[in-house]
Chain A
Amino acid sequence: MKPRALLLVGSTGFLGGLVAAGLLAETQSTIVAPIRSSHTRESVLATIREELVREGVAQTIDFERFVTVPLDFAELADACATYGVSEILHCAGSVDYFNSQKLREANIDLTTDLLGLAKRFAMRRFVFLSTAFSSGYVDGVVRERFHEATEGDPTEYITSKRDAERLVATSGIPYLIVRPSIVIGDSRDGRYSGKAYGLYQFWSAFERFLSDRYRDALHVIAPHEQLQLVHQDSFKNGFIAACAHMPDDTIIHLTSRGATLPTSREISQLWFETIARPHEVFYYSGRDAVENSALDRRMKTFLEFTAVNSELSAHRWRFEDSALRGLCERGLRFAHTTIETVRICQDQFVAQSHRLQAYLEKNKEQFPSTKPDVVEVNPLIGGVVH
């Protein structure tokens, strides 16, 4: 990319922070980053700098190119004029599944306001960070094009992202829409700077509710469907490459290749065989299939707190990856998720958890020498031991 000024919205968040690090490392652009009063330039930059240190490039970066301004539209307009901002990269938003008000404010109203700013300054392009799941539940392959509204979206978050995509596409401003799937840690060392979303919610829920003592039997919902995960380094490289090479008015999925992607069941088994180490694992088809009376209260809480994501993962998600393959042919480094790279992330998560370290140490005498028995629970036919 040529030197220019970009307005990066959402740099204080997980994915926006990765984009900021990628832009600093791969471009000479000035990055104008609006931040709320609860943040400072130093606090935002600390996380970005850490990412660049881990990549071994921090010493070569001119951090003066990262400029923060208050998140206020009058100030943003001044900054756009002052720095000659030519593009907006919109990586902010709410990931609340069902908080309609927050979703409207963060995903719809903010996008509308930023599009207004882009129009006012006749910007060259608007880049919007969406989600691979913006289609909602559809049969077959999810295409790199706009989705029509569907009945029964799994969450209101998905609806709001699809609605925001449409705002971007019909704005008249050249656009690029980037749709990552569920972002997990770095494929090389497992580092992760996000919150406990997705897979991390499963691991965190175990850490919080089930690491208090050893349990002979554990109960979980983990379908035999591939879990669409993308590593944070792949996300970052893919996003920056898409900005550099994708033509205007296009959509790209940043998703891992289906051929190597593990299933929810394989990822659960990895956890149970290497960390939790019960003698038995009971797998259920859904939350309704769980007979609550047999479970202790922590087990019930664990199931409650992982239920919505388990339900989402039961759908067969398949994504078109034409645009990504095109970027890979141009040299993009994109590590596709495999069970081995998930294990790297899992190991890093466990290594950073005092509770899990204590669990492993305290209970090692009770761990079985073999893999846990698997019991498939189907409420219609009863449990079957494999």
Chain B
Amino acid sequence: MVSSHTLDRVDSLFWTLVYRFESLAAVQYAVAVPELDTDAKRSFLAALAPHARTGADAFAGTALGGPVATLVASATSDDARHVLIVQGFLLELLGQTLYRTFGASAAANDTTRALCTAGGRAADEALALLPGLLAARIGAGDVLLQTFMDESQATLASLDALGEGIDEVFAERYGVKFADLMGDVAAEAIAMCVELGMDRRKFVAFLTGALMGI
């Protein structure tokens, strides 16, 4: 159970941001990849909902609104391959990193810590299912790499644009910057791609270009 500790504006913005992507994932998983529409994900989303703001002005007064909208647009699709790569792989990895990092912060209150634990567990479960799903639906090695490049480029470029807003709103509270988070996501992604039979050098070159706006 997640306690109902009152969240201040920074925490509220964090969970509003997370909710945007977790609710999008829930819809996309249900339609395109039901295997990832797990009990843990549904239960986390239900716990999260009361702490998130909805509506067009949810990020008013911050630099998050535009980049979040662009990122959501780039991640929205009902194509199973896109959902697997963008939601199932990239955004789950980002979520896992966020939950681990923010949940471990001394600045996190009980509610945030509990939500991070639940979110992390759901992300772990989804990521554990992912290799089998990718192999079955897309393939391995160069085929998977080409699909990854095709499907994720726009989302990676949008992620890059989110950095400034994330740092502005969350860096002081949680003591972590977007470049740290993306460094962790990149490290996890590289390890995972190698396990999936992709060429490490090719994947790193792609990731570098996509994340650095080349």
Instruction: Mark A residues whose CB is within 8 Å of B.
Output: 95-102, 155, 195-197, 201, 204-205, 208-209, 212, 297-298, 300-301, 304-305, 307-308, 311
Contact = CB atoms under 8 A, between A and B. Distances in A.
Contacts of B146: 99-101
B205 A98 contact: yes
- For the complex, would chain A's binding face be called helix, strand, loop or mixed by DSSP majority? helix
A199 to B, nearest CB: 13
B179 A209 contact: yes
Contacts of B182: 301
Given A101-B149, A212-B180, A301-B186, 11 more contacts: A95-B214, A98-B145, A98-B149, A99-B149, A208-B179, A208-B212, A297-B183, A304-B186, A304-B208, A305-B204, A308-B201
Contacts, number: 75
Interface in B116-160: 142, 145-146, 149-150
Contacts of B145: 98
A300 B187 contact: yes
Given A204-B212, A208-B212, A301 B206 contact: no
Nearest to B178: A208
A91 B32 CA distance: 40
B213 interface: yes
B212 A201 contact: yes
4 tightest A-B CB contacts, nearest first:
A301-B183, A98-B202, A97-B205, A305-B208
Nearest to A195: B214
Given A196-B213, A196-B214, A305-B212, A298 B205 contact: no
Interface in B167-214: 177, 179-180, 182-184, 186-187, 190, 199, 201-202, 204-209, 211-214
B183 A300 contact: yes
A36 to B, nearest CB: 15
Interface of B: 142, 145-146, 149-150, 177, 179-180, 182-184, 186-187, 190, 199, 201-202, 204-209, 211-214
A155 B206 CA distance: 11
A212 B176 CA distance: 10
Contacts of A209: 179, 183
A307 B201 CA distance: 9
A204 B190 CA distance: 21
A100 B204 CA distance: 15
Nearest to A208: B179
Contacts of A96: 149, 206, 209
A68 to B, nearest CB: 25
Nearest to B204: A304
B140 to A, nearest CB: 16
Contacts of B183: 209, 297-298, 300-301
Given A100-B146, A297-B187, A155 B208 contact: no
A305 B179 CA distance: 12
A378 to B, nearest CB: 22
A97 B214 CA distance: 11
A212 B177 contact: yes
A342 to B, nearest CB: 20
12 contacts: A97-B209, A98-B145, A98-B206, A100-B142, A209-B179, A297-B180, A301-B182, A304-B187, A304-B204, A305-B207, A307-B201, A308-B204
Given A195-B214, A297-B184, A297-B187, A201 B208 contact: yes
Contacts of A297: 180, 183-184, 187
A98 B204 CA distance: 10
A84 B208 CA distance: 43
A196 B213 CA distance: 8
A335 B33 CA distance: 57
A368 to B, nearest CB: 25
A300 B185 CA distance: 12
A308 B177 CA distance: 25
Contacts of B177: 212
